[in-house]
Structure 1
Amino acid sequence: MNLFIVEDSILIQNRLVRFIEEIPGMHVVGVSADIRSAYEGVMRHNTDAMILDLQLGEESGLTLLREIKKTRPEIKVVVLTNHSTEDYRTQALRAGADGFLDKSRDFAEIPAYLMRWQGPDFNSQIN
């Protein structure tokens, strides 16, 4: 599975890349801190899934989420944010998010989302 990370914190970017690289069958194909380069990168690479922060400097990840789902609805998107209020969750899910996680509480659940998206053959690869 080809994964693109959209996160403006270098620290979180690096943590996610290290975390994802340990999951069999996962490949980080790009990392971006802003909407424009993220959209271009997702379109340029054969992206299957995306981890998306909601707050990207002065920009909203919801804008990117809507655009991605409009042009490539098959891409799975999990929102990973510090802004985990019910209002943001509702907005993200309405915009097309396939998952919504709190950075401080749910970080460890990322592999479960990604493994579920890889399909039934994935479990046979790790057992």
Structure 2
Amino acid sequence: MKPLPTKKGLEAMKLLIADDSAFLRQQLIHMITELTGIKDIEQAEDVPTAIEAIRKEKPDVVVLDIRMPGGSVIDVLKKVQKEDHRPVFIVFTNYSYPRFRKSCLAAGADFFLDKSFDQNELLGLLKKL
């Protein structure tokens, strides 16, 4: 796992949420904005858009679902591993099986959280970064 970025205040954090569910993206944006103060939040609904947003927007943190149109979180992680800017990657998924956790962490994810149980952990993690 790479070292976490230097804390610069939640208001200054740039976040990307990549999930194929527009409803879930909006829920997360609302929850994160209200409870952490993070305001600079980009969205992606598929793998190509997520990769493009990571390269263009250079977010500090990326919250990714494991399955999205155009590929998977593994595809995203592999394509951006050697970029000059590498954000903290948090996989946030309903597919919290041990084999998926192992694959994601091996591919470069920094954290792996279950959507059904770890929403508070996601918020706490964002506050720590």
Q: TM-score range by the shorter chain?
A: 0.7 to 0.9
Between stretches 32-41 and 61-70, larger displacement belongs to 61-70
In structure 2, how many angstroms separate the alpha carbons of the residues matched to 1:65 and 1:30?
A: 18
Equivalent in 60, 82, 86 of residue 74 of structure 1 = 86
Instruction: Using structure 1 for the length normalisation, give the TM-score.
Output: 0.83
- 2:55 equivalent in structure 1: 43
Offset of residue 28 of structure 1? 3.6
Q: Give the number of the structure with larger relative contact order, counting CA–CA contacts within 8 Å between residues 6 or more apart.
A: 2
Structure 1 stretches of 4+ with a deviation exceeding 3 A read: none
Gaps of 5+ in 1: 118-127
Indicate whether 1:10 and 2:46 are aligned.
no
In 2, Cα distance between the equivalents of 1:98 and 1:110? 12
Q: CA RMSD in A?
A: 1.6
What is the CA distance between 1:100 and its match in structure 2? 0.5
Gap runs ≥5 in structure 2: 1-12
In terms of mean alpha carbon deviation, does 79-88 or 15-24 score higher?
15-24
How far, CA to CA, are the matches of 2:76 and 2:30 in structure 1?
Answer: 24
Deviates more, 1:66-75 or 1:97-106: 66-75
Distance 1:43-1:30 versus aligned 2 partners, 3 A rule: same
**1:18-37 correspondence runs (5 A):** 18-37=30-49
Q: Secondary structure at the match of 2:24?
A: helix
Aligned residue in 1 for 2:112: 100
Identity %: 31
> TM-score scaled by structure 2?
0.82
Query: Aligned runs of 1:78-89 on 2, under 5 Å?
Result: 78-89=90-101
| 1:52 alignment partner, one of 54, 64, 67 | 64
Aligned residues: 117
| SS in structure 1 at match of 2:52 | helix
Moved more, 5-14 or 104-113: 104-113
Choose between structure 1 and 2: higher helix proportion. Answer: 1
> Which shows bigger deviation, 100-109 or 85-94?
100-109
Instruction: Please state whether the residue corresponding to 1:105 is helix, strand or coil.
Output: coil
